[in-house]
Structure 1
């Protein structure tokens, strides 16, 4: 039997990236069909455990971020060791007053459960397990998916498809004609999640170069909820986990790290890294997000976190196009922005892997000399690379961003830091007032549409009129003097008199306009939409028109 289903967007892949995309699209009032070839949720293993602050913000916009953060374990310090001595540590800071800690550790399976609960409460999301997509056909008006199910073949008709099919999405890429160039690393790594009492380790991420209990290789230790710790060893290419477990060698490996104390192995896995990137993240009416579009090494936790940021970028742009607030050309900026973000992640994680696993003897000598000197030499310390932790990408070169010479991008910041606010950067979060009932944080308001922040001296009347004429999309204007009485936001922005800040629906800064005029507001908003928006009948989204 063939059943035809209709939705505004089909999301392929019911992992965290697909779940996030479906929830965000529904938040914009769009019906979504969420399909996965598996028969049901697979809760085996902790998998991706490190959830970054700004990703928690995204999840909070669909009602899940606070719960994930509260159930997870918060850590604020990253320590790096060489052999038996600590080289350095650093903690994380951010301008403003963020709603969440820098990182929260929680198993991917538990995150998926919490997102599933939010999906179950959302009538606009139709979840379809056991649907294996065998054909993707496009025409000028939509996408047709052909799926094999236990009940037979079925077809689905949708305006757009967001493919979040994960690392094993070879068939999806093949159907779309997408290349996935890159490399695989020969070295293997062993993960063991163990439950044990390790006093003093619960708030820290620890990285060991060449420790006595894994000579010549690395070990990474992450704390998790419930007195659980993720230990990640670099192991020889011929490592056999089953044989080591049966011989008792794995027990000795674990005890070398934690000492002679009781423990329980909760989960273990052996894996190899890949660094790969799709040549296109937009193929007509199909967008690719998450691991189906890019794979990076896990040092730095940039896999799941960047996939969720893909989902948010895709969701607001699909919503704006389907609502008639922007032309279809806006979707071209999805590839421009998220492909650049993936290249950044590949560059960062590639540098880490070259330091962790040098390709030749020269590289090994360089690493040893850096590590030997890092205990006392700040320059050498800065060259030690145990993984630059996940961070939002900076859309400074995006076609949607209006550059401002007086607020240039300062370049990739130091580890654990964020760049000063400027066009393209994710706006610092801070408490605000006079926004809406129950809404008390800047990024909450920003994610309802476009947000205009007016510093002292801005004539808001002409700005409001220009915004209404520039776009039918939701736009809100707030005076900083009214919404930021304590001054935390003005301090975080270093806002100057006469400036108008324009924030996108993903809370990235689209423009900072000194001495804003109606024409400059119009140009910046239209640029942030990719092209002049349609002016057809628009239905209300989660935000308001400019009040």
Structure 2
């Protein structure tokens, strides 16, 4: 058995490492001979992404990254409000700012130590076919090459048009008209390292926005919204870029480490599973970066795809399990598109009505704290909740109330990611990521599956006589009770689980 991963950005690297952790040999294909180590690119890594990387041995990313604790929001020359971010009770920070280049470096080091991963650099994919397996045609400096695998995860990024076309997919959606200028600068800015600053319509960028993020090593990432005819080269030559930066940081020394201009998009493929190939990350969906839902969502794609492919390749599940990848992760991508589109409509109003609403909200927010929630500078990345998934058995006593308030999490239950809590001397999610897990309350025994006892109440809110079935990606699949007679709780996954009441010795769950 063998899987292929097409593209070795952070999503592809994560997918390859996860597959190898499940014992699947991987060929990791990338068109570049060497990496470009310059530029912050995707910088904001959310707690659950850090959790996945820590499970692979990359816990240093959470330690090296910088977590700002205060979000300050301005309109013109007035500070509207500032928010202190809660830590959420986890051992991991809610997020860190760390450059994509550093993430790639750390993950590459792990890949180099993993004997199950065969890295093929300098392999440009020119075609993908599926004649009972996956055949990948590549062009290299030594001529054409063909790679065969049983299944593949396509992580070829936004420019993976060749891969998408071969699978009959393309990124449908729209692009925002304005451009965004991004500069990484190195400077001594006392007090700024713990703050994220968002400016609506500042006098030094009238009619548009500016976002300032602190990064490790006295670096700061500055994003300016600029007109669609913006000319970076002309600004650099004429000194306007220097004036643009000094309008923010004042008359102090600084160094431009990296700069680039981007146009933001909202785009999504129709299918994230095409036969034996699963599309992930920017190869499948693009969203505006406000809220950091790009890379973080891609890592969630990788984890979802990896355990399902591993179960299929090992013979522990039928191929139909892969269809749930599309069902779950396409819904997640659609949710991210909706959230980020609402943000962009606030940041870059599309018509007079939106412009009037934004001005009204920003004006009222200066004096009315009740309006602060309506100021949309981006809802930070959060897990997607698989409450509507075919792999989730709903619990009528724990109805899902929908998207929680910004910064909050829904109560634990079917379809929800386990809270990051400790069990005994370890973390509950680490237990879950070793395979299917049954969490039992006192008096309930399990047969045929790994299990761990949890107290009644506690972080899960478990009730007497319950057992919680948890997937290998730490999502709750079902909550079971003694006396239930429910089968196929995770359709397509083989193996029988008996959950037995110590008193009545009654089996109540299978498969």
Counterpart CA distance in 1 for 2:69 and 2:483 is 43
Measured after TM superposition, the shift of residue 91 of structure 1 is: 3.7
Measured after TM superposition, the shift of residue 198 of structure 1 is: 1.3
Measured after TM superposition, the shift of residue 496 of structure 1 is: 2.2
Partner of 2:482: 516
SS of corresponding position for 2:92: coil
Contact 1:193 1:265 in 2 (8 A): yes
1:7-26 CA distance string (max 9 Å, x none): 61000001000000000000
Counterpart CA distance in 1 for 2:311 and 2:82 is 43
Partner of 2:152: 161
Partner of 1:89: 82
Partner of 2:489: 527
Change (3 A) 1:91 1:344: farther
| TM-score normalised over the length of structure 1 | 0.88
Counterpart CA distance in 2 for 1:311 and 1:160 is 14
More helix, by proportion: 1
Measured after TM superposition, the shift of residue 94 of structure 1 is: 6.5
Partner of 1:123: 115
Partner of 2:444: 459
1:316-344 CA distance string (max 9 Å, x none): 00001111111110000000000000000
Partner of 2:499: none
1:249-278 CA distance string (max 9 Å, x none): 111111111111111111111111011000
Measured after TM superposition, the shift of residue 144 of structure 1 is: 1.1
Counterpart CA distance in 2 for 1:404 and 1:21 is 31
Counterpart CA distance in 2 for 1:92 and 1:211 is 24
SS of corresponding position for 1:139: coil
Q: How do residues 96-135 of structure 1 correspond to structure 2 at under 5 angstroms?
A: 97-135=89-127
Partner of 1:542: none
Counterpart CA distance in 1 for 2:178 and 2:33 is 33
Counterpart CA distance in 2 for 1:73 and 1:424 is 31
SS of corresponding position for 2:320: helix
Measured after TM superposition, the shift of residue 428 of structure 1 is: 0.5
Partner of 1:493: 460
Measured after TM superposition, the shift of residue 518 of structure 1 is: 6.7
Which deviates more, 166-175 or 375-384?
A: 375-384
SS of corresponding position for 1:493: coil
Contact 1:75 1:205 in 2 (8 A): yes
Partner of 2:42: 48
Change (3 A) 1:455 1:84: farther
Measured after TM superposition, the shift of residue 213 of structure 1 is: 1.7
**Higher RCO structure, 1 or 2 (CA under 8 Å, sep 6+):** 1
Counterpart CA distance in 2 for 1:209 and 1:189 is 14
Contact 2:161 2:170 in 1 (8 A): no
The total of aligned residue pairs comes to: 497
Partner of 1:77: 70
2:476 counterpart of 1:476: no
1:374-410 CA distance string (max 9 Å, x none): 1233442221110111111010110100111111112
Counterpart CA distance in 2 for 1:260 and 1:377 is 35
SS of corresponding position for 1:74: coil
Counterpart CA distance in 2 for 1:414 and 1:261 is 40
Counterpart CA distance in 2 for 1:310 and 1:532 is 19
Counterpart CA distance in 1 for 2:410 and 2:87 is 9
SS of corresponding position for 1:38: coil
Measured after TM superposition, the shift of residue 459 of structure 1 is: 2.1
SS of corresponding position for 2:459: helix
Partner of 1:310: 301
Give unmatched runs, 5+ long, in structure 2: 497-511
Counterpart CA distance in 1 for 2:388 and 2:86 is 25
Give the alignment's Cα RMSD to 1 decimal. Answer: 1.7
Change (3 A) 1:414 1:90: farther
2:249 counterpart of 1:258: yes
1:189-214 CA distance string (max 9 Å, x none): 11011111112211122111111221
